[in-house]
Amino acid sequence: MRLAALALALLDLALQARAQAVFAHVIVGNTYAYTQADWASDIRAAAAAGIDGFALDIGFQDTVSGTKPVIGALNNAYNAADAAGFKLFISFDYLAQGPWDAADVVNVLNTYNSHPSAFKWQNTGKPVASTFEGPGNAGDWVGIKQQTNVFFIPDYSSQGPQGAAALPAVDGLFSFAAWPNGPNDITIDADQQYVQALNGRPYMMPVSPWFYTNLPAFNKNWLWRGDDLWHQRWQQVLQINPPLVEILTWNDYGESHYVGPLPPAAIQNQSLPTGSWYVENIPHNAWLNDLPYYIAQYKKQALPNENHVTIWYRLNPGTACSADGTPCNTVTQGQTQFAPQQCDVDAIYFTAFVPSSATATVHVTIGNNAPVTVTAPAPGIFHSSVPFNGQTGTVVISVTASGINQIGPVTCPAITTACNNGNVNWNAWVGGS
């Protein structure tokens, strides 16, 4: 037991001193049916992928009113993380259920920041705290910091980089600018603006693989371009080289950017938002297989030796059925809207993870059609895509390269014009080997 405790303590010291860390954003409201064992299972999956910790997004009303379901969830999360040497910090959501009262923020922070799993900023000894928006309450954090000794890295994306950086009590900033605008690839313009505005204070860079939401009860129905985003964004992390990365998200099923596993079958009804038909039987956790490679590149560590391929695509062509009124972009954020097919292209996307000395050739077959073969232009990790070209049927992918065993073939679900409820599912199915 003493050796185990010593190992956890050394791991803790190493993480606090390390300049770079990767977190995944967790919607705690989707975990109320979780037991501590469920939290432990998710933590094992995240840690195996190289994720250092979770950012726990909590809403005000669920924390202070009625049965207070957040409290039970936080207790389970912190106890599971303590046992695993995994790190946590709290992100106070000021939009989902209204703004937080400063006294309640202080109470939550002082309750959970005493846990060994509380993430502390480098060698300051200060536990990290964050928000989802809440710039109107930014002044509260002057007093909150005095009473909790936290290192404050909020998301004030609504204010833009310069406006957010000028608000009180800001020690660093997180951004939700993780998705492209319209039918364009994402750029690093916003990230560079944050780095410049912070002038040496830490920037927590967002990374996300996808975005599609269609929840009429919440007046939400739009997509942002996914396609190559997962791979592109990790290449941009290498360009920016921020001290912190936050993956959006581990479990926001309603917005289709979850990278964690779907909830256990016994509690899916309590964990998935009502009306999120587009999530059912659509796993994303194969994206976790890519993280040991991307995170090793980010932290300048040795790359893993295991070879694999990850594949993702929509199961319906974009014009197969009704778009259900889903635009690309949203006027709720002042954006010009486009037809969804202009942004999310009918294509199969893949990344082959092979040794830096090997040149990958990827073979993709749709239905009974002739296979399409794509060869990487250079050795190492290879990302590309092949178009549907109007084809439907079961998708099969394999990878060959000199010096390695063939990867696959991997048989994946069919591309089909038979749509759930007569509507195109703009979510991506993700799989691999």
Mean pLDDT score of the chain, rounded to an integer? 95
Question: pLDDT band at residue 206, thresholds of 50, 70 and 90?
Answer: very high
Quickly count: other Cβ atoms within 10 Å of residue 337's Cβ: 15
Question: pLDDT band at residue 18, thresholds of 50, 70 and 90?
Answer: low
Of residues 106 and 4, more confidently modeled: 106
How far is the CA of 356 from the CAs of 237, 295, 302, 306, 384, in angstroms? Answer: 20, 16, 11, 12, 17
Listed in order, strand segments (DSSP E) in 289-371 are 308-313, 347-353, 361-366
* Of 4-8, 93-97, 221-225, 364-368, minimum mean pLDDT range: 4-8
Distance, CA of 103 to CA of 105 (rounded, Å): 5
Distance, CA of 230 to CA of 179 (rounded, Å): 10
pLDDT tens, 42-65? 999 999 999 999 999 999 998 888
| Sign, CA torsion 117/245/384/403 | negative
At residue 323, the pLDDT reads 97
At residue 275, the pLDDT reads 86
* Of 176-185, 266-275, 301-310, minimum mean pLDDT range: 266-275
Distance, CA of 25 to CA of 422 (rounded, Å): 32
Question: pLDDT band at residue 66, thresholds of 50, 70 and 90?
Answer: confident
Element (H, E) at 225: none
| Whole-prediction pTM | 0.94
3-state secondary structure of 411: strand
Distance, CA of 227 to CA of 231 (rounded, Å): 9
How far is the CA of 16 from the CAs of 56, 57, 282, in angstroms? Answer: 18, 21, 36
Question: pLDDT band at residue 160, thresholds of 50, 70 and 90?
Answer: very high
Phi first, then psi: what are they for 18, rounded to 5°?
-70, 140
- Which domains are seen in the chain, by residue range? 2-298 (3.20.20.80), 308-432 (2.60.40)
Contact assessment for residue 165 and residue 208, using Cβ atoms and an 8 Å cutoff: no
At residue 268, the pLDDT reads 87
Site of tokens 């956790």: 285
Question: Is the confidence at residue 273, as pLDDT, over 90?
Answer: no
pLDDT tens, 369-395? 999 999 999 999 999 999 999 999 999
Distance, CA of 426 to CA of 340 (rounded, Å): 9
Contact assessment for residue 32 and residue 267, using Cβ atoms and an 8 Å cutoff: no
Crossing angle of helices 189-198 and 229-240, in 10° steps, is 30
